[in-house]
A and B are shown apart, each in its own frame.
Chain A
Amino acid sequence: MITEFTPIQSTLGGLMIGLAAAAMLGLNGRIAGISGILGGFLDGSEGRGWRGMFVLGMLLGGLGLVLVSPESIPGAATDSLPLLAVAGLLVGFGTRIGGGCTSGHGVCGISRLSTRSLTATAIFMGAAMATVGLARHVVGGVG
Chain B
Amino acid sequence: MSPATRQQLVALISGLVFALGLGVAGMTNPHKVLNFLDLFGDWDPSLALVMGGAILVYAPIYRVLVRRDAPRFGDRFHWPTAKDVDARLVLGAVAFGVGWGLAGFCPGPALVAVTSGTLPVLTFFAALVAGMIAARLVMKTLDSRSARAD
Contacts and interface: CB of A to CB of B under 8 A. Distances in A.
B45 to A, nearest CB: 6
A62 B112 CA distance: 5
B8 interface: yes
Given A22-B58, A65-B112, A13 B27 contact: yes
A62 to B, nearest CB: 3
Nearest to A4: B44
A107 B80 contact: no
A65 B107 CA distance: 17
B46 A5 contact: yes
Q: Most chain-B Cβ atoms within 10 A of its Cβ — which of A10, A50, A64, A98?
A: A10
B123 to A, nearest CB: 5
A55 B96 contact: no
Interface residues of B, number: 118
A124 B46 contact: no
A58 B108 contact: yes
A61 B106 CA distance: 17
A110 B32 CA distance: 22
Given A56-B12, A99-B82, A21 B124 contact: no
A59 B114 contact: yes
A14 B53 contact: yes
Contact of B94 (A57, A84, A94): A94
A58 B112 contact: yes
Contacts of A43: 132, 136
B52 to A, nearest CB: 6
Contact of A31 (B53, B72, B78, B127): B78
A141 interface: no
Given A16-B24, A88-B124, A74 B131 contact: no
A130 B75 CA distance: 43
B88 A98 contact: yes
B16 A107 contact: no
A81 B124 CA distance: 8
Interface of A: 1-7, 9-32, 34-35, 38-39, 42-43, 47, 49-51, 53-66, 69, 72-79, 81, 83-99, 101-103, 105-112, 114-116, 119-121, 123-133, 135-137, 142-143
Given A73-B29, A101-B106, 18 more contacts: A3-B29, A15-B56, A23-B10, A49-B4, A72-B23, A72-B26, A87-B100, A88-B127, A88-B128, A91-B103, A101-B107, A102-B100, A107-B54, A112-B66, A120-B93, A123-B93, A130-B97, A130-B101
